[in-house]
Amino acid sequence: MHQPRIMQLYKTLESHFGFLDWWPGDSKAEIVVGAILTQSASWKNVEKAIANLKSKDMIDPKRIANADIKRLEQLVRPSGFYRQKARRLRGFMSYVVKRHGSLESMFSNDASPLRAELLSINGIGNETADSIALYAAEKPIFVIDAYTRRILGRVYGTKRYEKSECYDILQKEIEASIRKDVVLYKDFHAQFVELGKNCCRAKPLCGSCPLKRQCKYFKDLQQ
């Protein structure tokens, strides 16, 4: 994966979709909540859960850390797996409050140690940790999700990228191919999400895909 090629993908996508202001959230706490609740959930349902939390003025680390678990479960219920997510959410915020006092204090750490610390917290995997690091902590760490793996697997004609165990490998290849820039990382990830939702689905809609001229998967279909 070389810089001109991966950046060519970004330029094509940005030209097609425009600059995307993602991740939605009015505060760092809301972004963290969204990153945890979106595990195995559609964003539409996560928005309902966040609206519930906002209605009770609960988008706050200390309030979530001290919340009654049954009440928290009901508030996040629309996001699915609500018992598990309520415990993960309360556990994460409890860790932040006890260890750092605030998200701002936690996020003052450098990117690599912050990522390692996030991954040490129960229920926080690679994608969630990197979403928090990039969008809430503003660290240049590229988020790899299922859309990214699927799109690049098809564009470059390799099944290797589509395997979840290749997360770190793909992340390092992308980060080595583009400049370290938080705004670029955010928008590039958002472009992949937009393409994945609209075109590069499990059953792809190749005819409307802006990357079809650069995509090995599409070229193979034409043979």
Q: How much is the pTM?
A: 0.94
Contacts (Cβ under 8 Å, ≥6 apart) of 73? 82, 83, 86
Structure confidence at residue 146 (pLDDT): 92
Contact between 133 and 139 under an 8 Å Cβ cutoff? The reply is yes
Structure confidence at residue 203 (pLDDT): 96
Give CA–CA dist 91/25, Å, rounded: 21
Where along the chain do its domains lie? 3-20+143-221, 28-136
Per-residue pLDDT of the chain (223 residues; tens, 9 = 90+): 655 589 999 999 999 999 998 898 999 999 999 999 999 999 999 999 999 999 999 999 999 999 999 999 999 999 999 999 999 999 999 999 999 999 999 999 999 999 999 999 999 999 999 999 999 999 999 999 999 999 999 999 988 887 777 899 999 999 999 999 999 999 999 999 999 999 999 999 999 999 999 999 999 999 8
Give CA–CA dist 12/10, Å, rounded: 5
Architecture of the domain defined by 3-20+143-221: Orthogonal Bundle (1.10)
Contact between 146 and 189 under an 8 Å Cβ cutoff? The reply is no
Cα angle value 68/137/48 (rounded, 5°): 45
Structure confidence at residue 1 (pLDDT): 67
Contact between 34 and 24 under an 8 Å Cβ cutoff? The reply is yes
Handedness of CA 10, 43, 151, 118 (dihedral sign): positive
Residue 64 DSSP SS3: helix
Structure confidence at residue 21 (pLDDT): 85
Domain spanning 28-136: which superfamily?
Hypothetical protein; domain 2 (1.10.340.30)
Read out DSSP for 70-122?
A: HHHHHHHGGGSSHHHHHHHHHHHHHHHHHHTSSHHHHHTS-HHHHHHHHHHST
